[in-house]
Amino acid sequence: MSTVDEIEAAIAKLTVLKMASRTGPLSVYHMDWRLIIVSADSHDGDAPILFDVSRTGTPADGELIVTLHRTIDAQLAILEAGIDFIRHTPGAQSHTGGAVDLARAINGTA
């Protein structure tokens, strides 16, 4: 698999996940003894719970999910820029910066 193929696979995977997931923004909400993730525009206990991380997670787990959800568009932009760089720069296959590392992490091949 070429570097471009790796990056394109990551873009496809991330795009499918983005389209299948809830739209953001999300926020962590502390409700009594529970730690839940809700839509950011919800500010009360009646908000639909998207994720309940109380039983097995920590507050940091909730914050990580919310933070990563916010970075999807930036990750896609980094991956697209990596492909553009490879296609327009002779010999760039080995100098893609973080795009190929990001792609491999998304693809689970890092």
Q: What is the pLDDT of residue 47?
A: 59
Measured in whole angstroms, how far is the alpha carbon of residue 39 from the centre of its chain? 16
Residues of the chain with pLDDT under 70: 29-35, 40-49, 54-57, 92-96
* Alpha-carbon span 84 to 14, nearest angstrom: 18
- Ordered strands of the 34-39 beta sheet: 26-31, 34-39, 51-52
Q: What is the pLDDT of residue 10?
A: 97
Q: What is the pLDDT of residue 78?
A: 94
Q: What is the pLDDT of residue 96?
A: 66
Whether residue 53 contacts residue 35, with contact meaning beta carbons closer than 8 Å, is answered with yes
As a whole number of Å, the CA-based R_g of the chain is 17
Q: What is the pLDDT of residue 61?
A: 78
pLDDT digit string, tens, across residues 23-55: 777 777 666 656 677 776 655 555 566 777 766
